[in-house]
Structure 1
């Protein structure tokens, strides 16, 4: 099979399946894994697929707004990737640091990491995160109040925003709904407002995003890429995204399986 025809077949397969591993693609197309890796690298550079560690996924239709699934469902997705991201984020903190943490599946895993560190000041709108880090008595924890969102177990709304402005922190660690070459986004207006408020009161902005979030669109913009200091992910993004992050001055950390 000619490479150009094979490339079209890979794109077609991924559009039907959503995502596949290198091994599965190699088996389906009857070629070596090395050939598939080279094909995926070229297709990723062309913006036709999204390559991640061990596989690739289809590129969403341009301009489409995708819905975010229920929180419990998101907690079960990409678990090992989120744990790697959380461990990498924990290494950026030192004793006595004050940190804002918003509510998200990756920041729930982050809370488990922070419970093993010492003497942090943690400001969060997630009761689950607060209770997890509270298992370590050296931490000082502030739980933001407000209207309770049952799905993700978070506090939101005007009361939450009023309380956030009473704090200053060395950094904010955020999860996001989507990221493209211009900005980070969320699917929920109130969650986006909380994230914006935390960014305004923090010296540094650190975004935690697994590979699923790249080159996607959500309804509400949180901040331009230029507002991000550090982005931690589990797989190197496409050439387009890598270039956009570099141009925006974002420090990219890839928490790969080998550490």
Structure 2
């Protein structure tokens, strides 16, 4: 069964039974509980249901969704980890040897850093000391770590010192993680992180967004950039129809990790 068909079955079962458990859905659809948990995360992000502990309930329509806050970085690392790994592996194929790239701080870009250890030689500019440490294990990469106020939770630097240093670089690419995307814009939940992303976008030729499907058709708090500034989205599943249509109108390419 294709993921989209399974998602539709899950939504129908939730609407029929109101409260459903992960165990019940796994049995009904003959898939693993981990697959169901990933599906529920994606469907919750799209507003098609509400994921709760141990299962799901009917949710509000996407237009009724309120912004959600992001949790601690370590917890987000575990959320949709396999999808992020696959997205990162696909994104790592989009570089040419010698490319220069900004990479912001996030759980999916941290997965990208691991994938880039085997990539052709790149020039990498980042505000994440974790990312800088990982990609520096490739002796041919040139790595620039932007300095500023340290946020130990995410392992990143923030603030005006970082913004000033970004202005000294010009890169072919910027690869960003985001908190949310709707039919209008890409968004984040932290004002300083949104500022970093905006500054990197201003100094890059092409903008690539890395986002698992739980981030799509979701609202953030701070706008980062309109969809018209996005050149490509790398994700694990095809976006919801309204988001896909908006990306098409904006001229953005959608790349999934599906064959």
Shared fold (TM-score, shorter chain, > 0.5): yes
Given that residues 11 and 49 in structure 1 are in contact (C-alpha distance below 8 angstroms), is that contact kept between their aligned partners in structure 2? no
Where structure 2 has 5 or more consecutive residues not aligned to the other structure, the ranges are 1-9, 32-38, 50-55
2:176 & 2:249 partners in 1: Cα distance? 21
Write the mapping of 1:204-243 to structure 2, written as runs, cut at 5 A. 204-243=206-245
2:48 corresponds to which residue?
49
2:17 & 2:199 partners in 1: Cα distance? 42
Equivalent pairs, count: 230
The answer to whether 1:24 aligns with 2:28 is no
Given that residues 124 and 141 in structure 2 are in contact (C-alpha distance below 8 angstroms), is that contact kept between their aligned partners in structure 1? yes
The answer to whether 1:10 aligns with 2:14 is yes
1:204 partner SS: strand
Alpha-carbon shift at residue 63 of structure 1 (Å):
4.4
Given that residues 47 and 218 in structure 2 are in contact (C-alpha distance below 8 angstroms), is that contact kept between their aligned partners in structure 1? no
1:60 & 1:215 partners in 2: Cα distance? 7
Q: Which runs of 4+ in 1 moved over 4 A?
A: 6-9, 56-61
Distance 1:90 1:24, change over 3 A: same
Alpha-carbon shift at residue 107 of structure 1 (Å):
0.5
1:91 partner SS: helix
1:122 & 1:48 partners in 2: Cα distance? 36
Given that residues 209 and 233 in structure 1 are in contact (C-alpha distance below 8 angstroms), is that contact kept between their aligned partners in structure 2? yes
Task: Provide the alpha-carbon RMSD of the alignment.
Answer: 2.7
Write the mapping of 1:182-193 to structure 2, written as runs, cut at 5 A. 182-193=184-195
2:14 & 2:105 partners in 1: Cα distance? 36
Report Cα offsets for 1:113-149 as digits up to 9, x if no partner: 1111121000000000000000010000000000001
Distance 1:13 1:79, change over 3 A: farther
Report Cα offsets for 1:226-253 as digits up to 9, x if no partner: 1100000001111111111111111000
Distance 1:26 1:239, change over 3 A: farther
1:137 & 1:192 partners in 2: Cα distance? 31
Distance 1:20 1:225, change over 3 A: farther
1:102 & 1:185 partners in 2: Cα distance? 14
Where structure 1 has 5 or more consecutive residues not aligned to the other structure, the ranges are 1-5, 34-39, 51-55
Given that residues 146 and 165 in structure 2 are in contact (C-alpha distance below 8 angstroms), is that contact kept between their aligned partners in structure 1? yes
1:236 partner SS: coil
